[in-house]
Amino acid sequence: MATLTLENVRKRFAGQDVLNGIDLALEDGELLVLLGPSGCGKSTLLNLIAGLDTVSGGAIRIDGRLMNDVPPKDRDVAMVFQSYALYPNMTVARNIGFGLEMRGVPRAERAAAVQRVAGMLQIDHLLDRKPAQLSGGQRQRVAMGRAIIRNPRIFLFDEPLSNLDAKLRVDMRTEIKRLHQRLGATIVYVTHDQSEAMTLATRIAVLKDGVIQQVDPPQRVYEEPANIYVAGFIGAPP
């Protein structure tokens, strides 16, 4: 059974259709990249999966269970935002451990989990700092740590690298790939960056105007684009 399924998912804002019947099925351990230009509905789709917004039609299921009316905290998903969304007044350690703190996990157990995750992300030397004392790349690692520590069924990444400079963006790709393999995580990863999609994805879903154009492994999307739009968006420049 697929981990996450979307069946004819629709979203309309003020009479405007933003998602026009999305069908997708994510297998366990897959890193699916949702690729498309700015404004095509990528963040809207992630928000629906996370439960931060409600669908106008269709069904979202996790492990077969209908999620449409399940509140965000009861969905087994963790989102990593482009803007990091860290708590500015908390240390790195508390930012990472905050989800466990809310669940009432005891202090010692929490500290051990924070150490383990921070070690994995190579930020264990930064645990006492506040977010303002970190670089962009370090902040993004903290944001990922906060998601990883919750051990969710599904990770949702919304353009996590787009605020980083070019060199760091490429380094972090490697990091994300490594984490994906190490955790065996199931990930929906949103980007407008074709080369990021080609490097990271097990499959790419190309989105245009709220309609999925093609879902295939990177090589296949590149070599056998489903239509002229996909060819133009992801293919080699003429």
Supply the minimum distance, in Å, between the C-beta of residue 205 and Mg ion.
15
Shortest CA distance to 152 belongs to which of 115, 99, 91, 205?
Answer: 99
Supply the minimum distance, in Å, between the C-beta of residue 13 and ligand ADP.
3
Supply the minimum distance, in Å, between the C-beta of residue 174 and ligand ADP.
24
Q: Return the one option of Mg ion, ligand ADP, none that residue 110 interacts with (CB less than 5 to 8 A, by type).
A: none
Using CB under 6 A, which of 4, 24, 32, 44 touches ligand ADP? 44
> Binding of ligand ADP at residue 32 (CB under 6 A)?
no
Q: Return the one option of Mg ion, ligand ADP, none that residue 137 interacts with (CB less than 5 to 8 A, by type).
A: none
> Binding of Mg ion at residue 191 (CB under 5 A)?
no
Nearer to ligand ADP, 5 or 191 (CB): 191
Nearer to Mg ion, 40 or 126 (CB): 40
Q: Return the one option of ligand ADP, Mg ion, none that residue 99 interacts with (CB less than 5 to 8 A, by type).
A: none
| Angstrom distance (rounded) from CA 39 to CA 33 | 16
Site string for Mg ion, 42-61 (x = CB under 5 A): xx------------------
Using CB under 6 A, which of 3, 31, 42, 154 touches ligand ADP? 42
**Per-residue DSSP letters for the chain?**
--SEEEEEEEEEETTEEEEEEEEEEEPTT-EEEEE--TTSSHHHHHHHHHTSS--SEEEEEETTEE-TT--GGGSSEEEE-TT----TTS-HHHHHHHHHHHTT--HHHHHHHHHHHHHHTT-GGGTTS-GGGS-HHHHHHHHHHHHHTT--SEEEEESTTTTS-HHHHHHHHHHHHHHHHHHT-EEEEEES-HHHHHHH-SEEEEEETTEEEEEE-HHHHHHS-SSHHHHHHHSPP-
* Contact region with ligand ADP (CB under 6 A), list: 41-49, 109-117, 166-174, 181-189: 41-49
Copy the structure tokens of residue 63. Answer: 């492990």
> Binding of ligand ADP at residue 39 (CB under 6 A)?
yes
Interacting residue ranges for Mg ion, rule: CB under 5 A: 42-43
Residues that bind ligand ADP (CB under 6 A): 13-14, 18, 36, 38-44
